[in-house]
Amino acid sequence: RKEVEQDPGPFNVPEGATVAFNCTYSNSASQSFFWYRQDCRKEPKLLMSVYSSGNEDGRFTAQLNRASQYISLLIRDSKLSDSATYLCVVIRSSYKLIFGSGTRLLVRP
């Protein structure tokens, strides 16, 4: 079993839709949580950190449920430019990023 699991998708949604991704992690010692975005044939870029209290950045909302060991990302009012692969990332030690395989999002006109 992978340490970080994600539904690979693709999620195919129309512009303006709301879409949510979940991610589960197996190691309860995981300390920090992030969502990265990766465009096709590009490097991953940090989208947002995920805090226990939940956090929001514009159209993006991230939630962490430590008891159930899952992380979510909600995207409201989807734009064409949101089409990408979204990588769930956890940190166990202070520096080693553990990546999920990613969830692919396609936003259609």
Partner 1 sequence: GAGVSQSPSNKVTEKGKDVELRCDPISGHTALYWYRQSLGQGLEFLIYFQGNSAPDKSGLPSDRFSAERTGGSVSTLTIQRTQQEDSAVYLCASSYGTGQFDTQYFGPGTRLTVL
Write out the residues near partner 1 by the rule CB under 8 A: 2, 4, 31-32, 42-46, 49, 87, 91, 94-102
Q: How far apart are CA 99 and CA 90, in angstroms?
A: 7
Cβ of residue 91: shortest distance to partner 1, in angstroms? 5
Nearer to partner 1, 14 or 95 (CB): 95
Q: What is the C-alpha separation between 71 and 84, in angstroms, rounded? A: 18
Q: Residue 79 has which token pair?
A: 């734009």
Supply the minimum distance, in Å, between the C-beta of residue 65 and partner 1: 19
3-state DSSP assignment of residue 82: helix
Residue among 2 and 79 whose Cβ is closer to partner 1 = 2
Task: Report the candidate in 103, 29, 37, 15 with the shortest Cα–Cα distance to residue 69.
Answer: 29
Choose between 60 and 76: whose C-beta lies nearer to partner 1. Answer: 60
User: Cβ 90 to partner 1, closest distance in Å?
Assistant: 10
